[in-house]
Amino acid sequence: MNHRCASLRLGFCLSMAMLTAAVAPAADKPVKVFVLAGQSNMEGQGFIQADPKRNEGKGSLEHLAKDKATAAKFKHLLGKSGEWAVRDDVWIHYLDRKGKLTVGYGAKEDRIGPELGFGHVVGEAYEEPVLLIKLAWGGKSLAVDFRPPSAGGEVGPYYKEIVNRTNAVLKNLKKEFPEFGDRGYELAGFGWHQGWNDRVNQAFNDEYEKNLAHFIRDIRKALGVKNLPFVIAETGMTGLEENHPRALSLMKAQAAVAEYPEFKGNVAFVGTRTFWRGRDVSPSGQGYHWNTNAETYYLIGEAMGVAMKTLCEPKPAE
């Protein structure tokens, strides 16, 4: 009888040890880190609150979450009591702000940008914690402000800012986010939404494709990840009706870079023109800011997240 009990106890202990061994690695996996960079549309201008003075609140995140036509799509952004939900598995570091992902990480605390949709997609994709390092400043060009070293000329000050700030957060990860403990991190991907300041300048427009290709190569080298997955979100303001040659040229350049043989399987282009919402259903008529429509910004981020998830999937052995 005692022998049998001892055997059962041993079997139980072995089972628990195997279970612990299976669970422990998941708990110790490094934090998945994604960098989101660009200019004002990566900052994010989508209004959160439904202001009756702004087209009866249409196009705001609050209106989207409560209107019958769109509530099902956005209900996950609300908590049980109707408050804005806060994810407990996705964190964000955005210049002078940081915390768990929720609304309010746009250009101002009353706005959202692509980070919200992106964060929800990648948060659902991974068991380990996710950190978004968002680095965006309004009115910045790739030709000058973000100019990469390989493009020649003076290196852009905001290219340096992206590299330096990313490295600073990663170097001080435990201090910035004590809740991560000693997990460590994996720099898993880079998202880019930028282009307006190059789109409105012919000289900048003409060199955008080569500058973007240089930017991807140089960022990967500077951050130490050879084929860091990179997602380019189209500068698609004014939608499918856009016909200005310079605008069309820039969007074509963005799409072309993702087709380079060297970028096959590690760079993705995300079309955004169908996410354009007219002034009649938006908080404003700021076309260069997607009419400050929260749905647009959420959908851009969501599409970027889906593309990133695909890029990050394990590749079959050749």
pLDDT in tens, 42-96: 999 999 999 999 999 999 999 999 999 999 999 999 999 999 999 999 999 999 9
| Rounded average pLDDT over 155-184 | 97
Percentage of residues of the chain with pLDDT beyond 70: 91
pLDDT at 26: 53
pLDDT digits (tens, 9 = 90+) for 186-199: 999 999 999 999 99
Q: Tell me the mean pLDDT in the region 304-311.
A: 98
Return d(Cα 15, Cα 17) in angstroms, integer: 5
pLDDT tens digits, 268-280: 999 999 999 999 9
Rounded to an integer, the average pLDDT of 228-232 is 98
Which residues are bridge partners to 232 per DSSP? 192, 269
Distance in angstroms (rounded) separating the CA atoms of residues 78 and 57: 17
At 315 the pLDDT is 74
pLDDT of res. 28: 83
What does the pLDDT read at residue 27? 65
Per DSSP, the residues of 11-38 read HHHHHHHHHHHHHHHHHHPPEEEEEEEE
Domain 33-312 has CATH 3.90.1170.50: no
- Mean of the per-residue pLDDT values of the chain: 92
Q: What pLDDT sits at residue 318?
A: 54
pLDDT recorded at residue 25 = 46
Mean pLDDT of 10-36: 61
The model's pLDDT over 80-94, given as tens digits with 9 standing for 90+, comes to: 999 999 999 999 999
Residue 3: the pLDDT is: 47
Q: Where residue 130 falls among pLDDT bands split at 50, 70, 90?
A: very high
- 107-133: average pLDDT: 98
User: What's the pLDDT at 205?
Assistant: 98
Mean pLDDT to the nearest integer, 125-154: 98
- Taken in order 109, 111, 114, 120, is the CA torsion positive or negative? positive
pLDDT digits (tens, 9 = 90+) for 234-246: 999 999 999 999 9
Q: Which residue has the higher pLDDT, 29 or 16?
A: 29
Domain boundaries, the chain: 33-312
